Amino acid sequence: MRLAPIPLEQVKQLPQVYHLTIPDRYRDKMGHMNMRYYLEVYDDAGDALFESFGLTPAFYREHGSGGFDLEHHIHYLNEVHIGDTVAVYARLVSRSAKRLHYLLFMVNESRGLLASVFECVNSYADLTIRKTAAYPPEIAAALDGILSAHQQLEWPAPVCGVMSS
């Protein structure tokens, strides 16, 4: 599926959750960032996103909880080269009692291009029984506040259409 062009000024309306200069160890045989490291960047950005609404390592420890990615999809749009600086912006799409559907946008700041889009459905989990669980009320309230703001954006979330919370 090909994404419709997304202007950078729209992406930059979102909160930036992560920033990185691409290290040499991410290089592949063609001299650009290997696809496996896109997921690493998105994983680190996802941790920062989740901390922004209260799901910190301390919260997880105190509550015997965590999260499970249930499904994700990466659109590769423009190359990222070693030494390029990228920023990752987050947009929440929807949630249910147990799941969160969100997007992460990787902007190549060195080249002024949207490099990639990551779409994910993640579930909160009670790790004492290793099952998905409802978000605690304080986390649900924080998510609802962010979702409300993101639903007011004047551009549609570029979701793939087969994933949902």
Residue 164 has pLDDT above 70, yes or no: no
Q: Which helix (H) or strand (E) holds 104?
A: strand 99-108
Nearest to 103 by CA among 113, 115, 112, 116: 116
Q: pLDDT value at position 163?
A: 65
* Pairwise CA distance, residues 116 & 68, whole Å: 22
Q: Quick one: pLDDT at residue 48? A: 98
Domains of the chain, start order: 8-135 (3.10.129.10)
In tens, the pLDDT along 23-69 reads 999 999 998 999 999 999 999 999 999 999 999 999 999 999 999 99
Residue 160: its pLDDT value, please? 85
DSSP 56-73: -HHHHHHHTEEEEEEEEE
Give the tokens for residue 165: 């919370």
b/e map of 10-24 (b: 16 or more CB within 10 Å)? ebeebbebbebebee
- pLDDT tens column, 138-159: 999 999 999 999 999 999 999 9
